[in-house]
Amino acid sequence: MRRKIVAGNWKMNLDAAASKELIDALQAQSLNPDVTVAVAPPFVHLGAAVAQTQNSKIGVVAQNMHQAPSGAFTGEVSASMLTSIGVHTTLLGHSERRAYFHETDALLAKKVDAALENGLDVIFCFGEELEERKSAIHFDVVTRQLTDGLFHLDAAQWKKIVLAYEPVWAIGTGETASPEQAQEMHAHIRSVLANQYDNELAQGVSVLYGGSVKPANASEIFSQPDVDGGLIGGASLNAADFAAIVNAF
C-alpha cells in the first residue's frame, strides 16, 4: 500500500525560537498514526529540529541541496552535510527554486542522483504554470518534468522517490486545484510512470498534491484515489491547521 504523507514546507519563514515553538506545538497535537508527517524548516534550523523530534513521529526534511559533494560553492549545502546531522530526506525541484534560482530539469536530475548516492530520499516537486494550463499543455509539461528529472532512474531507485505535484498557479494564491483537477493530473502521472516502467511501480509511488491546501479543503483533495497526501506551505506554519490537514485523511 502507498504511504500517506503530509509534509510542511516552511520556505523562508520562522526564526529559531519560532521554529522550536511550532515543532513543540505540533508535538502536542494528536496526529493520525497512519500518516507520515514531516516538516521542512530552513537549513539553519535543521539540526535543532532533528534533536527536537528525536522521539516523535515528526520527520525533518531539507528544502534543497547542492548537487556537488563539496567545494567552492559559497552559500550551498551538500547531501552528506544533511545526512551528517540526521536529515534523510530533501525536497528538490520546488517551483520557487525553478523560478527564482533557475533550476532546470537537467540540474535537478543531477541533484536527484547526488541525493540518492548519499542515501537521501527525495520529495520531487513539479507542476505547470498558469499560462501552460491555459494553453492546455499542462500534461505535456508534467510529463517532460518527470522524464527529464527522473526517468534516468532505475526501478529500485524509485523506492526513494516521492512525487509532489504542485501547480504553480495554486501555490500561495489561495486558489487550489479542484479535487477533480488534482485527481486527473495524478492519474496522468501514474500512467506516465506505468508507460516508462510498469504498473506495479506506478501504483507504488506516493504522489502528493501541493498548492493552497487548507483544513477546509484537505479531506476532499485527499479523498481522491491517486492523491496520497499533501505538501503544505502557508498552512504548515500553524500547528492546529497543519494537524487538521494531517488528520483530514
Active site residues: 94, 166
> Is 231 among the residues that bind ligand 13P (CB under 6 A)?
yes
Contact 98, 145 (CB under 8 A): no
Interacting stretch for ligand 13P, rule CB under 6 A, among 135-143, 150-158, 198-206, 227-235? 227-235
Q: How far is the CB of 108 from ligand 13P (least distance, A)?
A: 15
Of residues 119, 108, 196, 201, the one with CA closest to residue 160: 119
Comparing CB distances to ligand 13P, the nearer of 23 and 237 is 237
The set of cell numbers assigned to 69 is: 559533494
Cα separation, 62 vs 46, whole angstroms: 7
Site string for ligand 13P, 196-225 (x = CB under 6 A): --------------xxxx------------
Q: How far is the CB of 199 from ligand 13P (least distance, A)?
A: 28
22, 23, 87, 171: residue in contact with ligand 13P (rule CB under 6 A): 171
Of residues 103, 105, 108, the one with CA closest to residue 141: 105
Distance of CA 46 to the CA centre of its chain: 16
Residue 89: what are its φ and ψ, rounded to 5°?
-145, 145
Site string for ligand 13P, 52-91 (x = CB under 6 A): ----------------------------------------
Q: How far is the CB of 66 from ligand 13P (least distance, A)?
A: 19
Q: Which residues contact 178 (CB under 8 A, 6 or more apart)?
A: none
Interacting stretch for ligand 13P, rule CB under 6 A, among 21-29, 71-79, 140-148, 166-174? 166-174
Rg (CA), the chain: 17
Cα separation, 101 vs 57, whole angstroms: 32
3, 134, 172, 180: residue in contact with ligand 13P (rule CB under 6 A): 172
> Is 42 among the residues that bind ligand 13P (CB under 6 A)?
no
Q: How far is the CB of 238 from ligand 13P (least distance, A)?
A: 11
Residue 27: what are its φ and ψ, rounded to 5°?
-70, -20
Cα separation, 189 vs 46, whole angstroms: 31
Q: Between residue 103 and residue 142, which ones bind ligand 13P under the rule CB under 6 A?
A: none
The set of cell numbers assigned to 120 is: 537521501
> Is 149 among the residues that bind ligand 13P (CB under 6 A)?
no
Residues in the site for ligand 13P, rule: CB under 6 A? 9, 94, 166, 171-172, 210-213, 231-235
